[in-house]
Amino acid sequence: MITLVIPGKPIVKKNSRCWGRGRPYKSAPLREYEYQAMTALRAQWGDRDTIDYPVWCHTWIWVPDRRRRDVSNLLEVIQDSLEGAGVVANDSLLVPRPHPLRINKERPETWVRLERI
């Protein structure tokens, strides 16, 4: 079992796609959040081996305000970042276990605990 922390307000992936020249591309805030998340995850993961077996993915998300958010869309960018950072071989190995959103105006962040099934 390991707990990883992703700093910053999570960005919803579904509403962050833009269109240009007939192709979808990621918005600047989404690209920035994914880069920040993958950088933090790589630093915390270190030189451990990539997970290639199913794991529970417990997720606690602190957001800066009380606006409604779609938790499943928030989880998508987090799971993609775990795969992009080399923590898991494929995000299909993650079995989501989200916890209720929490409010923290000063320090929005995400905690991810990975636990072997």
Q: Which amino acid is at 87?
A: V
Which CATH number belongs to the domain containing residue 33 in this structure? 3.30.1330.70
Q: What is the mean pLDDT of the chain?
A: 91
Cα 70 from Cα 73, distance rounded (Å): 6
Q: Give the number of domains in the chain.
A: 1
- Contact yes or no for 89/48 (Cβ under 8 A): no
Amino acid occupying residue 41: L
| Structural domain harbouring 54 | 2-116
Strand partners, 114: 2, 57
Is the pLDDT at 16 greater than 60, yes or no? no
Q: What is the pTM of this model?
A: 0.88
pLDDT tens by residue, 39-91: 999 999 999 999 999 999 999 999 999 999 888 889 999 999 999 999 999 99
Report whether pLDDT(20) > 80: no
Pair 5, 110: CB distance under 8 Å: yes
Reported confidence tier of residue 11, pLDDT bands at 50, 70, 90: confident
